[in-house]
Amino acid sequence: MTEFMNFLELVGTIAFSVSGALVAIGANLDIFGVVFVSCITAVGGGMTRDILLGLYPPAIFLNSRICVIAMAVSVVVFVIAYRNRRHFGDFRMRIEQINNVFDALGLAAFTVTGAEVAYINGYGDNGFLVVAVGMITAVGGGIYRDVITNTTPYVFKKHIYALATILGGIVYYYSRKYFFADVWTFVLPMMLVVLVRLLATKYRWSLPKIHLEE
C-alpha cells in the first residue's frame, strides 16, 4: 500500500506541476516564476495539510524528491512552451483543455492521499476532519497558484471543483472505515473526482452565484 501511495503522490505532483507551469506561462512569468508557481501548486496543499495535522516539519522538507520532480516537470513544460511560443496563444483553448485534465488528475490523487494521511495519523473516527483535510490538500496548491498569478482562485468561481474533492473524500472515508482497505479504497474516489471534474468542465456545471450586473 505504501508503494501505491507513493505512486499517487507522484501522479499528483506531476499533474499539478504541469497545471501550475501552464498557468504561470499564461501569466507571462519568467522561468523562475514558472518553476516557483509549479512547485507551490504541487506541494502547497500537502504543506498546509501537514501544518494543520501538526506534522512538523512538513513532509516536503523531509523528502526533496517531490520538489525536484516538480521543478524538472516545470522546466520541461517551459522549454516546450518556449520552443512553440509563436503558436502558444493560438492553442490557448487546447492548452486549457490539457490543463483541465492534469488538474483533474492532481485533484483526485491529492484528495485521497491527503485524506489517508489524516486517517492514519489518528483521525480515523473524525470523518469531517478526514474529508476536509483531503479537500484542503487537493485545492490548496491551486489556490496559492491563482493568488500568486493575480487570479481569483479557480475553486471559488468556476465549475464543480472543491465539491468533487468533497464527494471523493466521503467515498474514500466510508469505504476505508466500513468496507475495505485496499487499492480500490483509493481508486474509486479518484475515479469519482476525475469524472465529476471533467463532466463539470464539459457541460459547464457550476454552483449557484449572484450576477449583480443583471
Rounded distance between C-alpha atoms, residue 186 and residue 177, angstroms: 12
Average pLDDT estimate for 12-24: 91
The pTM for the full model equals: 0.91
pLDDT confidence of residue 199? 92
Average pLDDT estimate for 155-183: 87
pLDDT at 119 over 90: yes
Query: Long-range contacts of range 198-205, CB-CB < 8 Å, 24 or more positions apart?
Result: 198/100, 198/101, 198/104, 200/159, 200/160, 200/161, 200/164, 201/100, 201/104, 201/159, 204/159, 205/159, 205/160
Average pLDDT estimate for 64-93: 87
Query: Residue 110 CA to chain centroid, in angstroms?
Result: 6
pLDDT confidence of residue 103? 84
pLDDT confidence of residue 92? 67
Q: Confidence class of residue 154 from pLDDT cuts 50, 70 and 90? A: confident
